[in-house]
Amino acid sequence: MLNFNALGEKSFQISELWDRWNGDYLKHCAGEVIEAKEAENELKNAYKIFEHPKGKIDALGYELADIILCVCLCANAYEIDINRYVKEKIKQNEVRANHHFKEKKKNAGH
């Protein structure tokens, strides 16, 4: 598994060189999500017109990476152990998914 804390530290160091964050980390993350959505739309359109999507896949991949790095930077700025929270959230989501699956299966039998 990636070390998100290390990614956050490196991203924070890079951001200090840019001097453009002004502590508004989540606002910047939101902008990256919008850019990723635009890249996803372009990828979907490429598939619709049977265009080779390689460049579009790369564009979306880089935007998704930007989102991950922004989130890690935000966690680093507030001294949040994001590795811990990611691991715990995966476990929570698994429990919720299993519960949902059991309920769905139970309701399908009625």
pLDDT of residue 80: 96
* Whether 49 and 34 share a structural domain: yes
What crossing angle do the helices spanning 54-77 and 4-18 adopt, rounded to 10°? 90
* Whether 58 and 37 share a structural domain: yes
* Whether 20 and 48 share a structural domain: yes
* Whether 49 and 93 share a structural domain: no
pLDDT of 73-82, one tens digit each? Answer: 999 999 999 9
pLDDT of 31-53, one tens digit each? Answer: 999 999 999 999 999 888 877 77
Q: Which domain holds residue 19?
A: 4-79
> What is the number of domains present in the chain?
2
pLDDT of 80-94, one tens digit each? Answer: 999 999 999 999 999
Quick check: 5 and 81 in contact, CB under 8 A? yes
Residue range 90-110: average pLDDT?
Answer: 85
* Whether 38 and 65 share a structural domain: yes
pLDDT of residue 105: 77
* Whether 67 and 20 share a structural domain: yes
> Band of the pLDDT at 5, cuts 50, 70, 90?
very high
* Whether 28 and 50 share a structural domain: yes
* Whether 37 and 60 share a structural domain: yes
